[in-house]
Amino acid sequence: GAEVIYPLEDQFYGDRGGRLRDPFGQQWMMSQRIEDVTPEEIARRASAFFNG
């Protein structure tokens, strides 16, 4: 089986994503757009995420 490197998680920029490592050592990043976010909203969310 694969090893979870980063579990699937909703991101402030509107995607849900995560990363796995397969038995051969190859890393796979998966993501899906879950909402459309304006540049202004991304900036607001990024500020809240990085600055608490």
Q: pLDDT, tens digit, for every residue of 10-49?
A: 999 999 999 999 999 999 999 999 999 999 999 999 999 9
Kindly state the tokens that stand for 7: 């579990």
Strand order in the sheet with 27-33: 3-10, 15-21, 27-33
**pLDDT level of residue 52 (50, 70, 90 thresholds):** confident
Q: What is the CATH number of domain 3-51?
A: 3.30.720
Give the angle 7-13-15 at the CA atoms, nearest 5°: 45
End-to-end CA distance of the chain: 36
Which pLDDT value is given to residue 26? 98
